Amino acid sequence: MADIARKQIVLGVTGGIAAYKAAEVTRELLRHGIDVQVVMTEAARGLVTPATFQALSGKPVFTDMWDPRVPDNMGHIELSRGKDAIIVAPASADFIAKLANGLADDLLSTLCLARECPLIVAPAMNRQMWDNPATRRNIERLLRDGVAILGPASGDQACGEFGMGRMLEAQAIAPAITTFFAPKLLRGVRVLITAGPTFEPIDTVRGITNRSSGKMGYAIARAALDAGAKVTLISGPVSLAAPAGAETTRVETTAQMFEAVKRNASRADIYIGVAAVADYRVDNPRRHKIKKTDRNQLSLRLVPNPDILAWMAARPRPPLCVGFAAESRNVDAHADEKRRRKKVHLMVANLAQEAIGADDNEVTLLDNRGKHRLERAPKDVVARQLIAHIAKLYGSRTKRKP
């Protein structure tokens, strides 16, 4: 499947102390599967070297209108041609003033004026500059002109003061750009997702769990939100922040996860079971910590847990059901057998020992039309591709219904 998520942007870096943070922005955008072409102003070059951005982006960095590396000396048009957006981060007060007034006296401002694509600006300046009526006027004018403004945030400033004007962190900018680009394939669709491991207590302090980190499930929740879905996330114990915009319920045991899923089942249009659910639980977990005894063996009786995914798929009017099969060998064959047995519309197969806890994943999508392999990529990228595939299945399913 082609990488539908790969977008191309120009990252404009202007002269503010936050220019050093633009290196992190470059890295984060790349990590989110976005190609980055950096263009710097002269002032930015005084703060960070182009070599940093060149090394990170793998592309030459431009500053000069008349750079001989642009074949026809039309850098101000050429560099943004075919791009999906220009993002200026950091955007200084001076650069914002230029944009608001349509000035074009260097490569970056000329690119912005001559663009055919959206412009996104992440302001960064001292709090008094941000509060100045001239800056307020300029920002309002940019908003009226259809420019998207990201931030700024409030906090400690390089000048030693505290207040509004800090550039958003790279970790907030990159997801916002991803959301900006995401086609709203699931607008208003209600998606119920389980993520992470479950934890089955042995006694008050010990338990049985697995190595699932929740990263894949949380990435899918974010991708579904970006696609315009209403997301309910039922999460086992993980150390991840709840995705902004999702209704998140934290649970520990499989029984609790099952209860939470049941409560939300009738409201789900799509169910995605990403959780690594424990197949067994300890029969009668002890109410007190089990003491060590002289006996050198201790047996635990395990009883089977309900299969949440199979239960969901067997409902009278089930949502579109998606399962995740973690296999350690014969991945596709075992996963397809699971798809048929649990009667789910789509099974996502991956190699357990490589996927669990990792940042990357490589998966195969199995449905009744056949197999689609998604190549190895960061889990956020895989999640967006998966959501696009699910949206297609959901679309053809709702079309068939009267």
The residues of the shown chain that bind ligand CTP, judged by CB under 6 A, are: 194, 273, 275, 277, 279, 305, 307-309, 323-326, 338
Identity of the residue, 87 or 308, whose beta carbon is nearer to ligand CTP in the bound complex: 308
Q: How far apart are the first and last CA of the chain?
A: 30
Cβ distance 221 to 231 under 8 Å?
A: yes
Q: Considering the complex, what minimum distance in angstroms separates the CB of residue 212 from ligand CTP?
A: 10
- Asked if 348 and 362 count as a contact pair (C-beta separation under 8 A), the reply is no
Question: Residue 93 region, left (φ>0) first, then alpha (ψ -120 to 50), else beta?
Answer: alpha
Q: Where are the alpha helices (DSSP H) in 227-307?
A: 254-265
Q: What's the closest the beta carbon of residue 337 comes to ligand CTP, in angstroms?
A: 10
Which is nearer to ligand CTP, 247 or 279 (by Cβ)? 279
Active site residues: 159
**Smaller CB separation from ligand CTP, 185 or 195:** 195
In the complex, the smallest distance separating the C-beta of residue 365 from ligand CTP, rounded to whole angstroms, is 13
Select 159 or 310, whichever has its Cβ closest to ligand CTP. 310
CB-wise, 15 or 197, nearer to ligand CTP?
Answer: 197
**Cis, peptide link before residue 378, omega less than 30° from 0:** no
Give the three-class secondary structure for 167: coil
Could you give phi then psi for residue 312, rounded to 5 degrees? -65, -45
The distance of closest approach from Cβ of residue 204 to ligand CTP in the complex, given in angstroms and rounded to an integer, is: 24
Distance (Å, whole) CA 149 – CA 136? 12
- Least distance from C-beta 325 to ligand CTP, angstroms? 4
Question: Which residue number, 107 or 321, has a Cβ lying nearer to ligand CTP?
Answer: 321
CA angle 178, 344, 333 (to 5 degrees): 95
HSE (CB half, 13 Å, CA atoms) of 312? 30
**Regarding beta strands 320-327 and 346-351, do their DSSP bridges make them parallel or antiparallel, or are they unpaired?**
parallel
- Rounded CA-CA distance 350/365 in Å is 9
Distances in whole angstroms, Cα of residue 164 to Cα of each of 81, 96, 128, 130, 148: 34, 16, 8, 7, 18
CA-wise closest residue to 277 among 231, 322, 325: 325
**How many of the other CB atoms lie within 10 Å of CB of 301?**
8
Shortest CB 349 distance to ligand CTP, Å: 9
Taking the complex as a whole, how short is the minimal distance between the CB of residue 391 and ligand CTP, in angstroms?
19
Task: Name the phi and psi angles at 185, rounded to 5.
Answer: -70, -20
Q: Name which of 3 and 279 has its Cβ closer to ligand CTP.
A: 279
Query: Which residues contact residue 81 at a Cβ distance below 8 angstroms, ignoring those fewer than 6 apart?
Result: 116
Helical packing angle, 21-31 and 170-181, nearest 10°: 40
